Amino acid sequence: MPGQTIAQKIIARALGREAVEVGEYVTVSADYTVCQELFWPGHLRNLQRIGVERIPRPDKAVMVIDHSTSAAMGSHHYQTHRSLRDWCEAQGIENFFGPGSGLRHQVMMERGFARPGLLIFSDEGNIASLGAVGALNIPISTEVVVSLIEDQNWLSVPPSARITLTGAMPEGVGARDLIQTIIRDFGATDRLLGCCVEFTGPAIAGLSLDDRQTILASLFHSGAYTGVMPVDGVARAYVESRAAGRPWQIMEADPDASYVLEATYDLATLSPMVTRPPDLHGGVPVEKVSGRRIDQATIGSCSGNRLDDMRAAAAVLRGRQVARHVTLYITPGSREIYSAAAREGLLEIFSDAGATVLAPGCTTCWGYQGQLNDHEVLISTQQFNYQGRNGSRLAEVFLAGASAVAAAAVTGRIVDPRSLLKAPAGGAAP
């Protein structure tokens, strides 16, 4: 059999085999199944219809309330919170994380569930961010309930693509600009459709773990199924500090592994990107939309809520004020990130600038908070920009990295964030 990719090796390990073939249908038991509360009412109805009283492996279930971070008046979410909490208690599921814990992407990382060589079933493709430490996320949508009931589910072994990263990012350019460039190049094609993307190359050593998660979290917009990064010293140190003695195994692709596509990106050639609505692949250099007036700015979501994002926003906001006509929301990705941002004084910078800091969770990304009126314009680090994502279908949503969003918030219009980073603290953009 030809050489194995990382995805093939992880799936083979979960099967107890030496190798698997691309396109092979296998029934496999994942190391963990992770779910969130928005889909829970439907899952519970299915469980009740089937007559499931006990799931076989409550220790492998991770349940997180991360989309509806508060039981607000006028919503049904408080009922969902209670229902999911009670079900987890009845099932003996100890890995339950309630409102404000953070996005399950971060919970899986910070609590050591994501470890090299592990196979994880989830309800969304953006949890590919776990690949930053060499875990493989397989998004199975509503079929997570099958994994809970049976402790197994089927999958088709995905083909793999390989993207090599070289060079170093210029000042004022971040991981979000790289992934928006990749989405621009592949999102409107089927060239990465259904693939696991393996990232490789010398530039990865210069990317923080936050950077790697950001890239992988948005990778599904390119058509890819999932993705992984190499487990280097940075990733290994992170895992060792959180694994608590639980097993893991670093997987590396064989030299003769086969890839359906190979591409290379020189990070030194990148510039700040903004994705124009309503197409996710509509990324352009920021100067193409510079000057566009905005009404709201949001920093958060699984593609822009980590500590590096908080620091990038603070570098722009320090000593400056949010424009009078703009509302700025900032959502740290987890309690751990929230606390770290507080210790570094970042929350004070945000508050002094006039931003509103929200509880850890999905919040503004799916429109739970930060709704837009007709014809309002939002710039955000969130995942989607389709019509109606954040309220009115007549509103517009532009996507960018944390620096560009913060720069737009203080100037009241889309600008190149490097213009503010070069200016003295409190200075205006040129």
Q: pLDDT tens, 5-44?
A: 999 999 999 999 999 999 999 999 999 999 999 989 999 9
Distance in angstroms (rounded) separating the CA atoms of residues 375 and 313: 26
Give the predicted TM-score (pTM) of the model.
0.95
CB 227 within 8 A of CB 196: yes
In this structure, what are the phi and psi dihedrals at residue 13, rounded to the nearest 5 degrees?
Answer: -60, -45
Going from the C-alpha of 415 to that of each of 308, 412, 424, the distances in angstroms are 20, 9, 16
pLDDT at 89: 97
Token couple for 182: 């990749």
Instruction: Give the model confidence (pLDDT) of 368-424 as tens digits.
Output: 899 999 999 999 999 999 999 999 999 999 999 999 999 999 999 999 999 999 876
423's CB contacts (< 8 A; 6+ apart) are 429, 430
Q: Quick one: pLDDT band at residue 73, thresholds 50, 70, 90?
A: low
Angle, alpha carbons 382-385-391 (nearest 5°):
95
Average pLDDT over residues 100-122: 97
Residue ending a domain, among 265, 291, 308, is 265
CATH at 403: 3.30.499.10
Residues 147 and 241 in one domain: yes
Residues 124 and 31 in one domain: yes
What residues make up the domain containing 308? 274-420
Residues 50 and 29 in one domain: yes
Domain membership of residue 425 (yes or no) is no
pLDDT at 92: 97
Residues 254 and 309 in one domain: no
Q: Which of 387, 352, 385, 357 is nearest to 369 (CA)?
A: 357
Q: Sort 306 into a burial class: Cβ within 10 Å, 0-12 / 13-18 / 19+.
A: buried
Residues 54 and 124 in one domain: yes
Q: Which of 260, 278, 305 is nearest to 129 (CA)?
A: 305
Distance in angstroms (rounded) separating the CA atoms of residues 156 and 27: 9
Q: Quick one: pLDDT band at residue 141, thresholds 50, 70, 90?
A: confident
Residues 183 and 260 in one domain: yes
pLDDT, the chain, mean: 95
Distance in angstroms (rounded) separating the CA atoms of residues 140 and 147: 9
pLDDT at 430: 46
Q: Quick one: pLDDT band at residue 425, thresholds 50, 70, 90?
A: low
Instruction: Give the model confidence (pLDDT) of 303-331 as tens digits.
Output: 999 999 999 999 999 999 999 999 999 99
Residues 368 and 238 in one domain: no
Q: Is the dihedral of CA 319, 300, 398, 173 positive or negative?
A: positive
285's CB contacts (< 8 A; 6+ apart) are 271, 272, 273, 274
pLDDT at 142: 86
DSSP codes, 152-219: -EEEEPPPEEEEEEES-PPTT--HHHHHHHHHHHHTTSSTTTTPEEEEESGGGGGS-HHHHHHHHHTG
- What percentage of the chain exceeds 90 in pLDDT? 92
- Asked whether residue 82 carries a pLDDT value surpassing 90, the answer given is yes
CB 165 within 8 A of CB 267: yes
Residues 246 and 312 in one domain: no
Secondary element (H or E) of residue 359: none
CB 217 within 8 A of CB 128: yes
- Asked whether residue 427 carries a pLDDT value surpassing 70, the answer given is no
Residues 200 and 320 in one domain: no
Average pLDDT over residues 225-242: 97
Distance in angstroms (rounded) separating the CA atoms of residues 221 and 184: 9
CB burial of 342-379 (b: ≥16 within 10 Å; e: otherwise) equals: eeeebbebbeebbbebbbbbbbbbbbbbbebeeebbbb
Q: Considering its fold, how many domains does the chain have in total?
A: 2
Token couple for 284: 């352009």
Domain membership of residue 426 (yes or no) is no
Tell me the one-letter amino acid at 355: A
pLDDT at 36: 93
Residue ending a domain, among 265, 297, 317, is 265
Instruction: Give the model confidence (pLDDT) of 324-364 as tens digits.
Output: 999 999 999 999 999 999 999 999 999 999 999 999 999 89
Average pLDDT over residues 281-293: 97
Residues 224 and 311 in one domain: no
Domain membership of residue 78 (yes or no) is yes
Residue ending a domain, among 265, 291, 324, is 265
Domain membership of residue 57 (yes or no) is yes
